[in-house]
Amino acid sequence: MTTAAPLVFALPKGRILEEALPLLEKAGIVPEADFFNKASRALSFATNRPDVKLIRVRAFDVATFVAHGAAHAGVVGSDVIDEFDYADLYAPVDLNIGHCRLSVAEPVTMVESGANARESHARVATKYPNLTRRHFEKLGVQAEVVKLNGAMELAPSLGLASRIVDLVSTGRTLKENGLVETSQILPVSARLIVNRAALKTDSARLGALVDAFRALATERQAA
């Protein structure tokens, strides 16, 4: 009898991870001790289940690993799902964690003067080029996107862009950098994602995983 290969479950580094781990544990998956060792450079980890292993990667890479079948399932923000829109990615469960919003922000001085409101062309710094272009197209504004992976708030003050598009939670970072949120593109929460082909070929294990997370999400909503 051939033993099935372990399911690979991808988790994102950063803001969602801490909220996702208790859900993972309630679903019956507990990472090995080295997962919690901040000095460790490991990216792949065993769990209490011999048929499940974890990988910890950047949030955008979670979607790529799952969409291409290198990982079978994972947890990622809906912002990443909407940005890439992978056909092979199935997002069956809103986990009701990792809440924030993807928003446009501008320098306070420009908002007060109304300068940006008159633009038909905008240079925007973001790591979400697709969502950004679609948003500004709806407004009749041509967006020239400057792709950044971090330190977005510096772009307007250094003349790199007139606006930014980024995730916003409390708005504190924007305020500290002289920026103000001017519009919301979409609300964001973390989702369970599954590779569609893997779900068909390994429906018993992945289906049970989806059911477990769906039950946990329903429980959180009812609380």
Q: Which fold has domain 100-187?
A: D-Maltodextrin-Binding Protein; domain 2 (3.40.190)
Q: What is the pLDDT of residues 19-29, one digit of tens each?
A: 999 999 999 99
Tell me the pLDDT band of 15, cut-offs 50, 70 and 90.
confident
Name the amino acid, one letter, at 137: E
Mean pLDDT, the chain, as a whole number? 92
Structure-token pair, residue 85: 């829109």
Residue 50: CA count within 13 A, CB half-sphere = 2
pLDDT score of 99: 95
> Could you tell me if 191 and 110 are in contact, meaning their C-beta atoms sit under 8 angstroms apart?
no
Which of 58 and 120 is assigned the larger pLDDT? Answer: 58
Q: Is the pLDDT of residue 2 over 70?
A: no
| Alpha carbon distance 84, 134 (integer Å) | 13
| Alpha carbon distance 176, 120 (integer Å) | 28
Structure-token pair, residue 115: 């300068």
| Alpha carbon distance 13, 22 (integer Å) | 15
Structure-token pair, residue 101: 């919003």
Q: Is the pLDDT of residue 9 over 50?
A: yes
> Could you tell me if 166 and 105 are in contact, meaning their C-beta atoms sit under 8 angstroms apart?
yes
pLDDT score of 123: 95
pLDDT score of 116: 65
136 three-state secondary structure: helix
Percent of the chain's residues with pLDDT above 70: 96
Q: What is the pLDDT of residues 43-79, one digit of tens each?
A: 999 999 999 999 999 999 999 999 999 999 999 999 9
Q: Taking the domains of the chain in order of start, what are their residue ranges?
A: 7-98+189-222, 100-187
pTM score, whole prediction? 0.91
| Dihedral angle of Cα 211, 30, 72, 97, to the nearest 10 degrees | 60
| Alpha carbon distance 206, 192 (integer Å) | 11
| Alpha carbon distance 176, 153 (integer Å) | 9
Per the listing, tokens 């997002």 go with 91
Tell me if 7-98+189-222 shares its fold with 100-187: yes
Q: Mark out the alpha helices in the chain (DSSP H runs).
A: 17-26, 59-67, 78-84, 108-113, 129-138, 154-157, 172-176, 196-201, 203-222
Q: Which fold has domain 7-98+189-222?
A: D-Maltodextrin-Binding Protein; domain 2 (3.40.190)
